[in-house]
Amino acid sequence: MTALPQRVRVIAPHITSDANPVRFRAGDTVGVGHHDRQWTAYVWGTDLVGRAGWVPDAYIEMTGAHEGTALRDYDATELTVARGDALDVLDEAGGWYLCRTATGQSGWVPGNVVEPA
């Protein structure tokens, strides 16, 4: 297993694309659709209240053709970041980093907009 960088610097801006992201807790039932073509480790998932978005497929155990059980908590909130921002890395999934800003805000950013600090 590759160690995560502890800090990254934003090299290209990223603007969050979903104001109401998919969220679930371990044990929840999740609707599962197709895989993303660019970020192939992600599937289209729908949570218990109908929010839909991209979910790391490793976070879901399939229990049917289009249904699975969440293996861990997940919140697809993305961070809006600007070039030069420094972020603490908390986790990684399928090429995206879960990061925290200096002000304590947490969310996901694509790995192609950051580099190790």
Segment 34-58 mean pLDDT: 97
User: Phi/psi at 113 (nearest 5 deg)?
Assistant: -110, 5
CA distance 65 to 104: 39
pLDDT grade, residue 6 (50/70/90)? very high
Of 5 and 61, more confident: 61
For the chain, the structural domain boundaries read 7-17+78-116, 23-75
pLDDT of residue 42: 97
Bridge partner residues of 87 (DSSP): 8
Segment 68-90 mean pLDDT: 97
Of 2 and 71, more confident: 71
Residue 18 has pLDDT above 90, yes or no: no
pLDDT grade, residue 17 (50/70/90)? confident
Residue 2 has pLDDT above 70, yes or no: no
**H/E/C letters for each residue in 4-62?**
CCCEEEECCCECCCCCCCCEECCCCEEEEEEECCCCCCEEEEECCCCCEEEEEHHHEEE
Q: State pLDDT tens for residues 50-63.
A: 999 999 999 999 99
Residue 78 has pLDDT above 60, yes or no: yes
Sign of the Cα torsion 33, 74, 64, 46 reads negative
Share of the chain above pLDDT 90, in %: 92
Domain 7-17+78-116 in CATH 2.30.30.40? yes
Stated as kind and residue range, the H or E segment containing 67 is strand 67-70
CA distance 85 to 13: 9
For tokens 């679930």, what's the residue?
24
